[in-house]
Amino acid sequence: MLKVSKILTAQGPDRNFTIDVTMGERWVPQFLAMLNYMQELGGIGSSRNVTLFADGDGDFRPKFSWDAALPSETEPAIEDDGDRTYDAG
């Protein structure tokens, strides 16, 4: 089932924060490449979908931790059969 939500948020100031990540070694290059590409797109002002395939056979089991005071709950802009797109605006 396709669910589309449009969330409009005002752009605020930059915020510096740290996320601790533990994941299987073979996933690290793909994860970092995804972050690099997100940074590159932001630097040139280009909008694109960036996807990391989460392998469902149990091989991809990342653990993330961050300051609980950070806002981390939001609805996806698009949800379609378990695929989610998050868009801040």
What are the pLDDT digits (tens) for 52-65?
A: 888 777 788 999 99
**Mean pLDDT value of segment 24-32:** 92
* Nearest residue to 31 (alpha-carbon basis) of 53, 13, 58: 53
What are the CA-CA distances from residue 24 to residues 12, 14, 31, 83, 86 (Å)?
34, 30, 11, 22, 24
Would you state the pLDDT for residue 6? 59
Would you state the pLDDT for residue 87? 87
Q: Using DSSP, state whether 84 is helix, strand or coil.
A: strand
CA 84 to centroid of chain Cα atoms: 10
Would you state the pLDDT for residue 7? 55
pTM of this structure: 0.78
